[in-house]
Every structure is written in C-alpha cells, then in structure tokens.
C-alpha cells in the first residue's frame, strides 16, 4: 500500500488516522508509533496568538515523499501516514501527524522520529508566528539541523 | 515565450505579489537574467528581497542551483529558506 501524504487546512482525527494506518498495514503489523505536533502558546517571553503555515502545492508533497522513501530504505515499514496542516492555526491546535506501522517496535519508533526530524528541516513549509509583540517568519534552528544530522552517521 | 513566476511566504509579502507572467526572449535563462527582467517590470527597490543569497529558485518545482533553461509555460518559483514542518 502506498504511503499517505496529505496537506490540508482542516484538523485531523488521531483516532481515524490510527485506524486507517492499522487497516493499511495489514495483519502482520506488530507496532505503531506516532507523533502529533501542536502549536505552542508562547515563545520565550512572547505570547503566540497563532501560526501561519504556507506550502508549495506539489513540491511540498514531493519533499515529504522523498523523506518517506529514505525512511523505507532504512527500516522495514508497512505503512506511513503524514498529515500536515496549513493556513492559520491557533495555539494548541494540531499541526502535524506522523503514524508509522511496522512488524517491530524498534523500526516503528526510529522511523517515526526520523520522519519528524527530516520534516522539520527538509519539508517545503514556511511558518510565521503571530505574536503579541509582532509577527515573525521563523527559521529552522541549529537544534533542528543537529537532530537531522544525527541520523547521517548512525548505522540503520 | 511566457513563463509563470511565483513568490512564496516572506517574498510574497515583501513584493506584495503572489505570481506574475513574464516574457522571456529565448530558451536560456539564468538567475541574473531573470532578476534583470523582473527589475525592468517591478523596479529595483521592489525586487531587492529576491537578491538575497538564501533565496532559492525552483523551475517546475525542482530547485536549480546553477543556470537553467525554461520553456514557455514553465513555473519558476522564488523560495525563501524553508522552515520545515
């Protein structure tokens, strides 16, 4: 079954996506790992009133497909779902969901974290924080790149 | 021939423009040539954000690091550094 990548303004249901993943993974599935990212309500001393997310339709999906293809080379995965929201999101809103199904727990855990670390640096999105002290386009942090690069030398 | 030029995120805001069509004289086009054509249309001051080194160009959704060619109807996008998901 082909992995699912969806970019949408609408919210998603964790329970529904989990059920979809289980069904697509099939009877050999032994482990499902997942991650949900939320909009934080503050950054440093500033209150965040929202997050504006923009993407490049087509190119963004391609950039995520590349990440999933690389994950599939490293680990034995049965199904992967990535849902990413765009548009204007309020604090505590869900932004991103990654669900990974595999026969075994180590593959599911590792692939889920890998996909998220690469999404943070390689996926084609732009984010603007809407803050009480002024709006700001945000950048990937040094920590984001360090987390991504930690996968490079590690044997799979 | 005509190409479609797109601007994303901070560039879209700074230029006050999401997309435009641009007449290109032949099939060869590089970054400098493209910027010159845009400057003729929009003015030097307005295109200043596009001159930043960290601005990438994608032709038909593929990042171009060096010179590139375009054909009529191609989509050429200016991308500020991505933030990731």
Nearest alpha-carbon partner for B27 in B3, B56, B51: B3
Burial B47-57 (b: 16+ CB within 10 A, else e): bebbeeeebeb
Q: Are B55 and B32 in contact (CB under 8 A)?
A: no
The interface pTM score, or ipTM, of the predicted complex is 0.91
Most confident of A12-21, A127-136, A137-146, B59-68: A12-21
Please name the helix (run of DSSP H) or strand (run of DSSP E) that holds residue A95, with its range, or none: strand A94-102
Flag whether pLDDT at A44 surpasses 90. no
Q: What letter would DSSP give residue B81? A: P
Task: Give contacts of A128 with chain B, Cβ < 8 Å.
Answer: 9-10
Residue of A nearest to B60 (CA): A59
Share of chain A above pLDDT 70, in %: 97
Nearest alpha-carbon partner for A8 in A90, A66, A89: A89
Confidence class for position A132, pLDDT limits 50, 70, 90: confident
Angle (deg, nearest 10), helices A105-122 and A142-149 = 140
- Cross-chain Cβ contact A56/B85 below 8 Å: no
The C-alpha atoms of residue B81 and residue B57 are separated, in whole angstroms, by: 11
Confidence class for position A70, pLDDT limits 50, 70, 90: very high
For residue B31, what pLDDT is reported?
A: 86
For residue A43, what pLDDT is reported?
A: 81
Task: Give contacts of A120 with chain B, Cβ < 8 Å.
Answer: 84-85
For residue B68, what pLDDT is reported?
A: 85
Q: Is B73 on the interface with A (CB under 8 A)?
A: no
Residue of A nearest to B58 (CA): A59
**Assigned token pair, A16:** 């529904």
The C-alpha atoms of residue A88 and residue A85 are separated, in whole angstroms, by: 9
Q: Residues A78-110: pLDDT tens digits?
A: 999 999 999 999 999 999 999 999 999 999 999
- Cross-chain Cβ contact A125/B81 below 8 Å: no
Q: Are A141 and B23 in contact (CB under 8 A)?
A: no
Least CB-CB distance to B84: which of A58, A125, A137? A125
Mean pLDDT of A23-36: 97
Q: Which residue has the higher pLDDT, A45 or A154?
A: A45
Residue of B nearest to A84 (CA): B85
Flag whether pLDDT at A39 surpasses 80. yes
Flag whether pLDDT at A1 surpasses 60. no
Match 């995965």 to its residue by tokens: A77
Mean pLDDT by 10 residues, chain B (85 residues): 95 96 80 91 94 92 87 94 87
Least CB-CB distance to B9: which of A119, A123, A126? A126
The C-alpha atoms of residue A102 and residue B71 are separated, in whole angstroms, by: 44
Q: Is B81 on the interface with A (CB under 8 A)?
A: yes
- Cross-chain Cβ contact B82/A128 below 8 Å: no
Angle (deg, nearest 10), helices A105-122 and A59-74 = 150
The pairing of beta strand A46-55 with beta strand A125-131:
antiparallel
- Cross-chain Cβ contact A138/B83 below 8 Å: yes
Q: What letter would DSSP give residue B36? A: H
């Amino acid at each position: 079954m082909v992995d699912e990548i969806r970019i949408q303004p609408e919210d998603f249901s964790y329970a529904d996506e989990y059920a979809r993943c289980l069904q697509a993974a099939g009877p050999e599935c032994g482990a499902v790992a997942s991650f949900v990212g939320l909009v934080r309500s503050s950054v440093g001393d500033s209150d965040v009133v929202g997050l504006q997310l923009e993407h490049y339709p087509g190119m963004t999906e391609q950039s995520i497909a590349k990440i999933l293809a690389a994950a599939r080379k490293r680990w034995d995965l049965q199904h992967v779902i990535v849902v990413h929201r765009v548009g204007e999101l309020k604090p505590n809103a869900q932004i991103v969901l990654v669900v990974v199904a595999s026969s075994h727990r180590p593959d599911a855990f590792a692939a889920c974290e890998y996909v998220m670390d690469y999404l943070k640096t390689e996926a084609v999105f732009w984010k603007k924080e809407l803050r009480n002290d002024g709006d700001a386009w945000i950048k990937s942090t040094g920590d984001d790149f360090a987390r991504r690069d930690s996968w490079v030398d590690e044997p799979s | 021939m005509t190409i479609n030029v797109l601007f994303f995120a901070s560039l879209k805001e700074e230029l006050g423009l999401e997309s435009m069509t641009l007449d290109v004289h032949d099939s060869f086009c590089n970054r400098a040539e493209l910027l010159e054509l845009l400057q003729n249309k929009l003015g030097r001051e307005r295109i200043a954000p596009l001159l930043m080194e960290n601005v990438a160009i994608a032709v038909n959704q593929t990042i171009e690091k060096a010179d590139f060619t375009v054909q009529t109807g191609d989509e050429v996008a200016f991308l500020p550094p991505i933030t990731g998901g």
